[in-house]
Amino acid sequence: MLPKFNLPFAKMKATDAGRAAGHNCRLHPTESQLPKSAWFTPQGNHEVMAWRPEVLEYAKGLMKRKDAVVAISFSVQVGKQQEWREKPTEDCPEGRPRPNQNKALNALIRGAKEWAIKEFGEENIVGINLHTDESTPHIHVVVTPVRDGKLQAKAWLDGSQTCAQLRRRAWEVVNTYLPCTYTPGAAGGAPHDAGLAAGKAGQLAKRKAELDARERALAEREANVEARDDALWEREPAVWQRERAVEAREKALEAMAEEVAASTPAALKEQNKRLRAIVAAIPEAVIRELPNKELRQAIRRVQEAQQDNGLSC
């Protein structure tokens, strides 16, 4: 029995299209990647047609609305997981790739590339990549829906009948290289779910790895908190010593002030008295506006002293 052909797709706005390069070109690890031992090829990603950001920029320049569809992302898939992989085992819970599949992969590449160029024109292809590092091999095709110098996504995706015709044209080309079946009117395939791994065992293994990583992160956070508590405990004696030093300095200044007052001539004492009275009369609202904290504290100490001596502020 021949494998089934699927062609899920996603409309992309300007904000979405640029991010697709990260996943399709494997510019960073993705959630859907399996362990390398389960890859169909050592590379994991094969560049069929290099990513061309200038094609996207041209399409963005044709936008008439902010929500315009500037690109369409297709995933060309033939066959299910069990047709590409052996049954899961303890040492490979994802299921090892079946041997001698390079011929089928090359056929899939040729068919997908020929269809994309025939359907959209080579000038409108943003990039084509074959992914062999997930549960099944598949080809990502990103194109801009430009026709007659305008963005016209509806020319390809205007309703279920138009989409079915598009899928049939794609299948007819791919089928000439890699025999497969397509049922007209059937669902074209769900959009790619990056959270799925190969098989139940693969999903469990991936979940276990996520929990292990989370447990390690929590242990690291706990160690950091304990280290911070130790550091605070070690700083406590130093803070206490600084407080005592400040108190001693304050007492020394008070003693110096008393000594100066005792040795000050009567005329200077009278002038000092008038100055204290002036300071005592400064309103609290004015004091709060002063930028110097030490000056504010000094004025308040003078006012408190004047109150203690029976003078009104």
**250-294 pLDDT, tens per residue?**
888 888 877 776 776 777 778 878 888 888 888 888 888 888 888
Helices (H), 28-159: 53-61, 81-84, 102-120, 154-157
Q: Are 181 and 167 in contact (CB under 8 A)?
A: no
DSSP conformational letter for 35:
P
Query: Hey, which residues does 151 pair with through a beta bridge?
Result: 146
Q: What share of the chain has pLDDT > 90, as a percent?
A: 48
Q: Are 313 and 307 in contact (CB under 8 A)?
A: yes
pLDDT of residue 237: 73
pLDDT of residue 233: 67
C-alpha torsion sign, points 180, 182, 183, 186: positive
> Residue 45: helix, strand or coil by DSSP?
strand
Mean pLDDT of 304-308: 77
Between CA 309 and CA 276 the distance in angstroms is: 11
Indicate if the pLDDT at residue 310 is higher than 70: no
Mean pLDDT of 18-43: 89
pLDDT of residue 296: 85
Between CA 87 and CA 94 the distance in angstroms is: 8
Q: What share of the chain has pLDDT > 70, as a percent?
A: 89
Between CA 98 and CA 71 the distance in angstroms is: 34
pLDDT of residue 312: 44
Q: Are 86 and 96 in contact (CB under 8 A)?
A: yes
pLDDT of residue 204: 66
pLDDT of residue 309: 67
Between CA 177 and CA 268 the distance in angstroms is: 109
Q: Are 90 and 201 in contact (CB under 8 A)?
A: no
pLDDT digits (tens, 9 = 90+) for 94-108: 899 999 999 999 999
pLDDT of residue 166: 95
Distance of CA 274 to the CA centre of its chain: 67
pTM of the predicted model as reported, rounded to 2 decimal places? 0.61
DSSP conformational letter for 33:
P
* pLDDT band (50, 70, 90) for residue 203: low
| Exposure class string for 163-188: b at 16+ Cβ within 10 A, else e | ebebbeebbebbbebbebebeeeeeb
pLDDT of residue 196: 47
Identity (one letter) of the amino acid at 41?
Answer: T
Mean pLDDT of 53-59: 94
Mean pLDDT of 14-28: 86
Phi, psi for 4 (deg, rounded to 5): -90, 145
pLDDT digits (tens, 9 = 90+) for 160-184: 899 999 999 999 999 999 999 998 7
Q: How far lies 293's CA from each of 198, 245, 304, 305, 307, in Å?
A: 67, 20, 17, 19, 21
Between CA 89 and CA 224 the distance in angstroms is: 40
Tokens matching residue 126? 């943003």
